[in-house]
Structure 1
Amino acid sequence: MIEIRPVLQIVGLFVAVLGITMLLPVLADLIDGSEAARADMRSFLASSLLCTLVGGGLAASAWGRIEALTTRQGFVITTASWLALVIAASVPLYLGEGGLSLTDAFFEAMSGLTTTGSTVVTGLDGRPPGFLLWRSLLQWIGGIGVIIMAIAILPFLSVGGMQLFRLESSDKSDKVLPGADDLAAAVFFLYLALTLLCFTFYWLFGMEAFDAMNHAMTTVATGGYSTKDASFGYFVTDEVARGPLDVVAITFMILGSLPFGLYILTLRGQGRALFQDSQARFFVGAAVLFTAIVAFRIVSSLGYDPVEGTRTAAFNIVSVMTGTGYATTNYNAWGPFAVGFFFCVMFVGGCAGSTSCGLKIFRLQVAFNALSVYIQKLSHPNRVTVARYNGRPLDESVFRSVLSFFFIYFAVFATVAVLLSLFDLDAVTALSSAGTAIANVGPGLGEIVGPAGNFSTLPTGAKWIMAMAMLLGRLELFTVLVLFVPSFWVR
């Protein structure tokens, strides 16, 4: 059996820390001082007390020294901590004056912590600052959590080919989180620095400080929550400010989607690490190609000005590809080609070890390599062909992990889409809702859940299905699904 004490201790600590973090929205509401803010402040205070006591009590009851964690404990901790944090994060949303039901509060918290960005909240422009800040904080916390999970945990769990990203100095035994303290500290300070830099540019180019901080957190986290119902489009209606703000957002969405491990290597003196990485080059090249295709389409067919069209295409392609989910325009109005193209792009995702989502670039590269090797063997059966990734040969375990991930990924997507269609949703809404949930993108397609829509009108059952799909997508599927295998719990 799995020793559960370390699991309870770590999960309890996470919940307690999240409870303490709820004091930040309290401070924002206190500064605002309006009647709505004071009511919101009381809900956050009560939630903070509850979560801190429950989490602290759970950690204290299981307290003890943790020498190392086994792979099986790593699976349990990853899923249990994420689910516990979502439940805790939904408490102030449910208790607050915003009128969110239990389902909506859970959906919003899950969407926030998984950096999906799908929302059921309307009237954002008039919400208390504490409420808006909490949504942004959830995405910021989820973003750094994903990075640490992808760099320090998933490689040791061999999830979907993530074993490619074990640090060279890592212990090769069946233990999780080697050197996690130093790694977490380095990632945290880098993540914080990028957020502050993004905030500075947003503020300098015209955003109010509060809006700039919220959008900086959700941009670097590639989450996409906004303080406005019109999303990022609210800030780019002024022609004077439009260009600079678009460029800032595009830049930091891309920076958030590149491997943070390479940033750390660059800062430690390996200056060419980021530029030599095939995954980073592939990601940037794909973003440029997709932007060129959409820009050509809307300039040639819809009469956009070339500069305007290119900037608009770049923003929305990068936003969807990275899973951020900001929108400056309703790209559903660009016609069937755009709808189909954006539907495909939402699955691509960013790089492994980033805040981004989707299939991940490295898996696409491995899949292309596997296809290339297979074709070469068909044409030259006696030829010895070795597939490589970043100059290193790929063994069969990586191929199996990646191809298995592809199969499960699209099987889960199809299952979720079918389940959503049982609620009488039209095909575009069901398919895009399933895609945006499993790929953690944010807006879907169509009139209901598209960039000009919202998920608030979906049936209750559909929201719960989507919330579970968000968790599966964010935790790389196998991390959750393995817990449902009976033999996992028996040594």
Structure 2
Amino acid sequence: MTTDRLRFVLFLNGLFILALAVAMLVPAIVDFAADDGKDAIIFVSSAAAIGALGSMFIAAFKQDQIDLTDRRTGLLITVSAWLSVSIVGAVPLYNSGLGLSWTDAVFETASALTTTGSTILVGLDDMPPGLLIWRSLLQWLGGIGIIVMALSVFPALRVGGMQLFRSESSDISEKPFPKVHQIARNILIVYVSLTLACAVSLDIAGMSTFDAVNHAMTTIATGGHSTRDASIGFYNSLAIEIVTIVFMISGALPLAFYAVFLLNRGKRSAIEGQIIPFLSVLAAAILACTAWNISQGMSPPVALRLSAFNVTSIMTDTGFATADFSTWGSFAVGLFFMLYLVGGCAGSTAGAIKIFRWQILFEGTGRALRIMLYPQAVVPVRFQGKSVDDVAISNVRNFFFLYIMTLLFMSLLVMATGLDFLSSISSVAQAMANAGPGLGPVVGPATNFAAIPDTAKWLIAFAMVIGRLELVTFLAVLQPWFWRR
């Protein structure tokens, strides 16, 4: 890694930090409008300090031109940007009147930016509006991906960009648009349009306008932060739950699918290859959970309503809740833990392993079993209408191995802080999947992460970032060979 490339990485980090400082003016304006000058000043002062830091990076490391010919610089930009904004974004929370420690402030910010939705905050119902909108805005920015948003300006900086987009999304599908800035522009248009549609729908369904805007941002981002301690369960509204389910699913589908569908005037696209399997698994999980809850004494309508919302929330890695599903019995707990690992479609705002990897894994395993019986048979593995080569299949298997080993290793470290087995492994699983609530009485849907040790909070926050970067991106940067010239 040359000095010029490291300077360029720091220069771009300065741009991201400066952009985050500008975003802090939004909650400042909200607080001023609510006659809360004290909290508004906190955001303004934080924006000034962070903006100055970002400007210093830009001025000190500005590059007239840089030619990116390998993936290392793109990977380092991706990793460093998520780490830097997770740290500087914690400044307003730390300086607020909530009395948060630096650990809690970073945990909350990392949870928001990675669209995880885990929280250490209580008393959300009475919290200043600026802080609530800041948490939601962080999740909204994290959902689209700060780096993906910046792709639209990369051509002016003489950056290739597509390589970075692939490291960010880990999408193996075909390139839907010919140029990077077209990808960024169309995805951003879709993202904003879905957010507006969700906000209007929630407002019509009965939420206040302020709550509707907040929940729209966190729903489309599949983030799960709420303005209420009881999450969506606070409203006890079937209409709100149905709207939220629809838009949680919308956020878990490939964002490029909407743009391709509209631009091609409804013609089918290869991007659709993940959608039907995703919806099929989701429907099967809802039916299984409903049947289990009925067998445990719930009435069928209540069982279907609770199962549909909470299963959708966990499988899309959103993290909203309308009930404490960790008390539904061992089958339900096991089902929800498995759903942590499934996730949404590649190219969506959802996290976890992603449905396309499961598709390739099952297809590849099926071929391996068949070849055991018929060694001379030619059994192709196909995905989205195209043949998948052995290298791609091997990469998916390697990803599964790394994911499970990282999950077990991080869980063991969290157990060493004193947490019980279920709390530890579910905390890490939801963090890596960017899902939100854990399982059990300590970190379950009815509680939060405030009571766990600080060391565990840092480990779980670290797992959130690893999960958001889809593991391999982060692990590659840690290798010694990555830094060699």
- Confirm whether residue 15 of structure 1 aligns to residue 17 of structure 2: yes
State the secondary structure of the residue aligned to 1:115.
coil
Q: How has the CA–CA distance of structure 1 residues 451 and 295 changed in structure 2, closer, same or farther, with 3 Å as cutoff?
A: same
Alignment of 1:233-248 (within 5 A): 233-236=233-236, 242-248=237-243
Q: How has the CA–CA distance of structure 1 residues 442 and 180 changed in structure 2, closer, same or farther, with 3 Å as cutoff?
A: same
Residue identity in the other structure for 1:64: Q
Residue identity in the other structure for 1:482: A
Could you tell me which residue of structure 2 aligns to residue 116 of structure 1?
Answer: 116
State the secondary structure of the residue aligned to 1:229.
coil
- C-alpha deviation, 1:467, in angstroms: 0.7
Could you tell me which residue of structure 1 aligns to residue 333 of structure 2?
Answer: 339
Q: What TM-score comes out, normalization by structure 1 length? A: 0.92
State the secondary structure of the residue aligned to 2:89.
helix
Q: Using the alignment, how far apart are the partners of 1:480 and 1:408 within structure 2?
A: 12
Q: What TM-score comes out, normalization by structure 2 length? A: 0.94
Say what the alpha-carbon RMSD is for the aligned residues.
2.1
Q: How has the CA–CA distance of structure 1 residues 434 and 153 changed in structure 2, closer, same or farther, with 3 Å as cutoff?
A: farther
Could you tell me which residue of structure 2 aligns to residue 56 of structure 1?
Answer: 55
- C-alpha deviation, 1:149, in angstroms: 8.5
Could you tell me which residue of structure 2 aligns to residue 175 of structure 1?
Answer: none
Residue identity in the other structure for 2:42: S
Alignment of 1:206-225 (within 5 A): 206-225=206-225
8 Å Cα contact 2:94-2:105 kept in structure 1: yes
Structure 1 counterpart of 2:312, from 294, 313, 318? 318
- C-alpha deviation, 1:150, in angstroms: 13
State the secondary structure of the residue aligned to 2:172.
helix
Q: Using the alignment, how far apart are the partners of 2:120 and 2:467 within structure 1?
A: 19
Could you tell me which residue of structure 2 aligns to residue 164 of structure 1?
Answer: 172
8 Å Cα contact 1:90-1:109 kept in structure 2: yes
The count of residues paired between Structure 1 and Structure 2 equals: 474
- C-alpha deviation, 1:182, in angstroms: 2.2
Could you tell me which residue of structure 1 aligns to residue 254 of structure 2?
Answer: 259
8 Å Cα contact 2:144-2:349 kept in structure 1: yes
Residue identity in the other structure for 1:164: I
After TM superposition, the structure 1 stretch with the greater mean CA deviation from structure 2, 349-358 or 327-336, is 327-336
Alignment of 1:77-92 (within 5 A): 77-92=77-92
Could you tell me which residue of structure 2 aligns to residue 392 of structure 1?
Answer: 386
8 Å Cα contact 1:155-1:166 kept in structure 2: no
- C-alpha deviation, 1:158, in angstroms: 6.9
Q: Using the alignment, how far apart are the partners of 1:13 and 1:157 within structure 2?
A: 17
8 Å Cα contact 2:16-2:146 kept in structure 1: no
Could you tell me which residue of structure 1 aligns to residue 266 of structure 2?
Answer: 271
Could you tell me which residue of structure 2 aligns to residue 203 of structure 1?
Answer: 203
Residue identity in the other structure for 2:184: A
Q: Using the alignment, how far apart are the partners of 1:162 and 1:303 within structure 2?
A: 41
- C-alpha deviation, 1:476, in angstroms: 0.8
Q: Using the alignment, how far apart are the partners of 1:220 and 1:489 within structure 2?
A: 37
Q: How has the CA–CA distance of structure 1 residues 61 and 115 changed in structure 2, closer, same or farther, with 3 Å as cutoff?
A: same
Alignment of 1:378-417 (within 5 A): 378-417=372-411
Q: Using the alignment, how far apart are the partners of 1:372 and 1:448 within structure 2?
A: 40
8 Å Cα contact 1:222-1:356 kept in structure 2: yes
Could you tell me which residue of structure 1 aligns to residue 154 of structure 2?
Answer: none
State the secondary structure of the residue aligned to 2:145.
helix
Q: Using the alignment, how far apart are the partners of 1:231 and 1:190 within structure 2?
A: 26
Percent of residue pairs bearing the same amino acid type? 40
- Confirm whether residue 437 of structure 1 aligns to residue 431 of structure 2: yes
- The one-character-per-residue Cα deviations of 1:359-393 (angstroms, maximum 9, x if unpaired) are 00000001001101101100100111111101100
After TM superposition, the structure 1 stretch with the greater mean CA deviation from structure 2, 210-219 or 430-439, is 430-439
State the secondary structure of the residue aligned to 1:164.
coil
Q: How has the CA–CA distance of structure 1 residues 364 and 159 changed in structure 2, closer, same or farther, with 3 Å as cutoff?
A: farther
8 Å Cα contact 1:155-1:165 kept in structure 2: no
Could you tell me which residue of structure 2 aligns to residue 176 of structure 1?
Answer: none
Q: Using the alignment, how far apart are the partners of 2:147 and 2:335 within structure 1?
A: 28
Alignment of 1:339-488 (within 5 A): 339-488=333-482
Residue identity in the other structure for 1:84: S
Unaligned ranges ≥5, structure 2: 152-159
State the secondary structure of the residue aligned to 1:57.
helix
8 Å Cα contact 2:169-2:347 kept in structure 1: no
- C-alpha deviation, 1:472, in angstroms: 0.5
8 Å Cα contact 2:199-2:212 kept in structure 1: yes
- Confirm whether residue 300 of structure 1 aligns to residue 308 of structure 2: no
State the secondary structure of the residue aligned to 1:443.
coil
Structure 1 counterpart of 2:284, from 286, 289, 313? 289
Q: Using the alignment, how far apart are the partners of 2:294 and 2:162 within structure 1?
A: 43
Could you tell me which residue of structure 2 aligns to residue 103 of structure 1?
Answer: 103
Unaligned ranges ≥5, structure 1: 171-178, 237-241
8 Å Cα contact 2:148-2:184 kept in structure 1: yes
State the secondary structure of the residue aligned to 1:196.
helix
- Confirm whether residue 31 of structure 1 aligns to residue 33 of structure 2: yes
Q: Using the alignment, how far apart are the partners of 2:246 and 2:97 within structure 1?
A: 36
Q: Using the alignment, how far apart are the partners of 2:177 and 2:46 within structure 1?
A: 41
